[in-house]
Structure formats: C-alpha cells, structure tokens
Amino acid sequence: MRYFLIQLMPRKPINLQFDETSRFSEMDWAVFRMYALVSTMSMADVADRHNITPQKAGRVYRAVLAELTRRAERHGAVEDMAILQKNPRRSGRTASRLSEIAWKYRLHPAPQLFLGQHPRCWFERRVADRLGAAGYTSLRLIVESLNKYGIRWYDKPRELSGVWVRAVSRLGTVQARQIAVWMVERQSALGVVVEPYAVKARTPNAVENWRRTGVIYSDVLSSAPAPLERLRPHPVLSGMSGRNRAPSVQCRIDAFDDLTAIRAWLSQHPQGGHTWRSYRREIERFLAWAIIERQKAFSGLGVDDCAVYRDWLLDPQPAARWCGPARPRWHSDWRPFQRPLSHRSALQACGIVRAGMDWLVRVGYLAMNPWPLVNLRPLKTSSVDGQTIDTSRAFSDDQIDLMRELLDRWEIEAVGDVVPRLARQRFVALFGIYTGVRLAELASLRLGAISRKGDQYWLSVLGKGRRRRDVPLPASAMGELQRYLDCRELPPWTENGSPETPLIAAIPRSWQEIDTMQCLSTSRIARIIKVLFQRIGDCLVGNDQTRFRQASTHWLRHTYGSRLIAAGTPVSIVRQNLGHASLNTTTGYLHSEDTERWKSVQKL
C-alpha cells in the first residue's frame, strides 16, 4: 500500500553547502506551505490567516518558488526543477514532493508540530480531505479519539471536545494504524501522551509486557483501580498472611496469595465466555475496593466489610475514582463502574463474590465465607424512592407489531449499504423473539446448528455450563431465516448446505477485508440490536418509547418466555426451551399484563 504521510526528509539525504542563509522568514514559508499544500484555501484565505494583503501573499509565494527554482538549477537537480514547474494544488503527490524539496534546500527551519494544525499540513491530501470531511479538522481531535477509542478511532460517529465527528469514509485499518503510529512517534513534539496499546498490535508479547507493568498499590489512598491482570497489591495487602486464610496444609490449590487464588477460581470457567467475564468483573471490583477503600487484603475481610461493600455498590464513592465511561481495559481512564448499580445488579454482584469465596473455602484457601452472614434483604426491595421498579423486561404483542411495522417500512425505503444492515437488525431481533436464545448462544450459531426431523425444524444450542439443548423453530423463525439468507445472496437453507456459514455474519466492504465466515462477537451483536431499539424508540412516544430505549438483547429472551407462558405452555417445556437449570428461574416469567390482572378481579 502506498505510504501516504508526507515525508519531511528525503529518502537519500544530499549534502548541499550554501554560502548564505535564507532570506525568507518563518511567516514567508508558512504562506508558501499553506497555499501549496491546502488546496481548499485561496490566496485571500492564506493572507487573512497571516494579517497581510492578498497581493503581498502572492508576492511571497512567487518569490519563494523562484528561489527554489534558482537553487535547484544551481545544483543541477533536473527532477526538482520539473516538480517546481507543476501546480502543487492539483496533486497531493506534487505537494508532498514540493515540501521535500524546500526542506532539502534549507529554506525553512524544521516544521513545528502543534495540536491545532489541520491534518492537511502533514498527511497526503486525499487522506487529509477524508479526515476533514468527517470532522477531524485538527490533530488534537485525532489524538483524543485515539486515546479514548484505540485503534478503532475512525469507524463511527463520536463526540470529541464538544464537536461531533463522523466515521471516516474509505479509510482502512492499515491507514488508520499508520496515522496512529505516526502520532505515537511524535507525541513528545505534540506535548501529549498517546496510549501505546491503543495503536499497536495486541501481540501476546505486548500484552504480557503490559501486564508486567502492573499497578502497585503502595499508596492506596491515591491509587486508581486497575484491571485484574494489571493488579499488583502491596505485599502487606497481597493476602499472603490474611487473617481469614486457612492453614496452608489444607489448601488444595497452588495459591500463595489472593490474586493467585482468584485466578484459580476463574480458571474453572471457559475463559472469554460470558460467565467468565461477569465473574472477573465482579471479583476485580471487590478486590480493588478491599485494597483501596478498606486497605485490607481480600483474605482479611470480615462480615462487617462485606456489609459495607453491599451498600457501597449502590453509590461507589469517590465517583471520579470508580466511575467513568466505557474504556478498553488497557486504557489509563478505565474504571470498574460506568454508573452506580441498581438493586438487582448489586444483588447479583454480591452473589457472584459469595460464590467465589465459597469455592475458595471448599478448596481450603479461606477459613470461612463471610457472605452467608450478610443480610442481602435491602437489595431485594422492589422500590427505590417510592417508585416501583418494572420487573417485566419483555415486549408486549402490540410493541412487537409496532416493531414489525417499522421494519417493513424501513426496508421499503432502504437503499445502498443500508439494506444489508437493516436486514441483519431485523433478523437478530425477530429470530431472538422466536427462539429465546441467549446473546452468547446467538453469536456462536452457524447454519449447521439447524436440523430437520420430518416437518419439524430444530436448533441445536450450546448453552451455559456447556449443556446442549434443542430448541424448536417455529415457521415464523424459518421464514425470517430464509429472508435473511436471500439478502446475503445465499442459497435457501437445506440439510446439505454449508454447515460452517455463520448465522449472523459481517457485512463485506469493498475497501476492507472481512472474513465473512467469522461469527460476530457478542458485543457487536449487542450494539446492533441496541441501535435498532434506539431508532424504534425515536419513532414512538410515551411508554413505548421509554421501553424500547431501555431494552437490550436480553429482552428478546424474556419476550420469548413470557409469550410461551401467556399461550398456556407448561412451565416444564418453557424451562427446556430456555435452558434453565432451575425451575425457579422459569417461574420468573409468570407475570401478566396489567389489563389482564384488572379483568381478573372484576368477577369478584
């Protein structure tokens, strides 16, 4: 791929001796450079930037160009003379070569970088124009986007310093990485810090080096929480001598401190799975809170500490230390929380930590688990500030009809690249309602998971605990599948089809290589469905608007279970279809619409 950054030094340095210093000032060179490289600026615009008249700006530009030509002729540089005779405003390559020529003949000092410069001052014109059209009108915005969003800084609309920027069209991953590396190499000149792992390849060695540079909590009161893989507690707080430690002879795992024991517990679950990520999130929150806020080791916490943590989850303070927008785990602004937890989420967090400590007791690392002695009843309340919490996270039949109506209308109006994206959104939403599969299960599905038994279609799903179940597919689900396959220009589903084809695939792009045989990640599918629900909510009013804006992918599963119960399906069948390990979980879907509840009491 052609290297697109303007080279400030010639590839082959030429030793040129001059007997006189340049008679041009820095302002003269700035006028020349700005007019030559920024094709959208007229001479009047250049003159206005430097508080001079357009006539003087034109004289300065012509004088600098004439001096360049004389010096090139003096040294017999035929190629340079040919470049100087071309109009640099018609070609980005000519403008780039002109900058090299001026540098070679030492007509100006080394160009100075500053954050307010437009990308056109440094990047090839075609790339700079794409950045400018998307709203990246200064190097400052590029640096801010890099630090916040990493290597994917360019691929979606964002708000940066109060300015909205769009996705940069026709800028591939390779070019974006080159820009990022260029910024990292010049961060000292810019006077900013660019996160190194936001722009470099996440190789195993790089990740391991990043983990080794851990955060050591020597001064815990001034420390910020760190991810579990970077956490390096002070020896006093490492748990090597925690007061709740069981005798070492009873320990059945090779763990000498709390961090090693926690990793042993996490290793009992498939790494990278939804359960593993959830367990890691809650245990690292609890561990960081114990070290920073309580100044105690994980294995030194008691019942009173756990009770304080239960209440603290509802309002993590200080908020600046614990809460912040979503960031990658390697980012310096990463925080364990985005916002205070709800009562439901806090109860789940306490349950996960309790399960982890219970496992450590069973393997002989901890002497006792304090959580069974903690009263969790305050978290089980269904009201906050006198307002009832709606525990029914499911769409009604009317709301599903509204969703279908809007999707049908948008499909008729869709053109271009919008068509495959809208078809994917429709399939994920309706297929989730018709099957009730979990997000992680949906992301891993391929066409080979569908089988036929006579006139019946079945979906084989690998659920929680690596338990496999078969989910019956209604005719409506198969209809949506065939419709989605037609949009992807794939043949209709048959038992002899390609079994490895992902059920939900990435959308190919002409300027970017995408493996269409690779399943989408769970986070990507969650964003796809969230964008759809937000758009539907914008078209509605009242309670429907509020519910769609609050909805997530898990609402599709709740909707499936609630509709089966409402249709009179036995709870045991609903449990099998949803893959619940306990029947108590399935009974949570036994709720009724308000209208039905009102009608039921009118007979009294």
Amino acid 447: pLDDT: 86
Amino acid 289: pLDDT: 94
* Domain assignment present for 287: yes
Residue ending a domain, among 387, 406, 429, is 387
Yes or no: say if 102 and 91 are a contact pair by the CB < 8 Å rule: no
CA distance 525 to 505: 10
Q: Which residue has the higher pLDDT, 4 or 47?
A: 47
Residues 416 and 372 in one domain: no
* Domain assignment present for 110: yes
CA distance 307 to 304: 5
Q: What is the DSSP string of 506-564?
A: PPPBTTB---TTSBPPHHHHHHHHHHHHHHHHHT--HHHHHHHHH--THHHHHHHHHHH
Averaged pLDDT for residues 330-336: 81
Residues 376 and 416 in one domain: no
- pLDDT, tens only, 30-39: 787 778 777 7
Closest CA to 87 of 99, 95, 96, 78: 95
* Domain assignment present for 87: yes
Residues 352 and 409 in one domain: no
Q: How confident is the model at residue 75 (pLDDT cuts 50, 70, 90)?
A: low
Residues 427 and 576 in one domain: yes
Residue ending a domain, among 387, 406, 435, is 387
Amino acid 311: pLDDT: 92
Residues 265 and 185 in one domain: no
Amino acid 9: pLDDT: 35
* Domain assignment present for 515: yes
Q: Which of 91-100, 324-333, 588-597 has the highest mean pLDDT?
A: 324-333
* Domain assignment present for 603: no
- pLDDT, tens only, 198-257: 555 444 454 455 444 444 443 344 467 888 888 878 788 888 888 899 988 888 998 888
- pLDDT, tens only, 345-392: 899 999 999 999 999 999 999 999 999 999 888 776 543 333 333 446
Mean residue pLDDT across the chain: 78
CA distance 5 to 138: 16
Residue numbers of the domain that contains 129: 26-197
CA distance 84 to 92: 14
Which percentage of the chain shows pLDDT scores above 90? 16
CATH number at residue 424: 1.10.443.10
Residues 229 and 187 in one domain: no
* Domain assignment present for 1: no
pTM of the complete model: 0.58
* Domain assignment present for 185: yes
Domain count, the chain: 3
Amino acid 255: pLDDT: 87
Yes or no: say if 463 and 579 are a contact pair by the CB < 8 Å rule: yes
Residues 79 and 157 in one domain: yes
Residues 418 and 467 in one domain: yes
DSSP 231: E
Residues 79 and 146 in one domain: yes
Residues 383 and 401 in one domain: no
Residues 266 and 297 in one domain: yes
Yes or no: say if 349 and 374 are a contact pair by the CB < 8 Å rule: no
Residue ending a domain, among 165, 197, 229, is 197
* Domain assignment present for 21: no
- pLDDT, tens only, 553-601: 889 988 988 888 888 888 888 888 888 877 666 666 665 555 565 565 6
Backbone torsions φ then ψ of 428, nearest 5 degrees: -60, -45
- pLDDT, tens only, 256-308: 889 999 999 999 988 877 788 899 999 999 999 999 998 899 999 999 999 99
CA distances from 456 to 127, 470, 484, 575 (A): 54, 12, 20, 20
Residues 313 and 428 in one domain: no
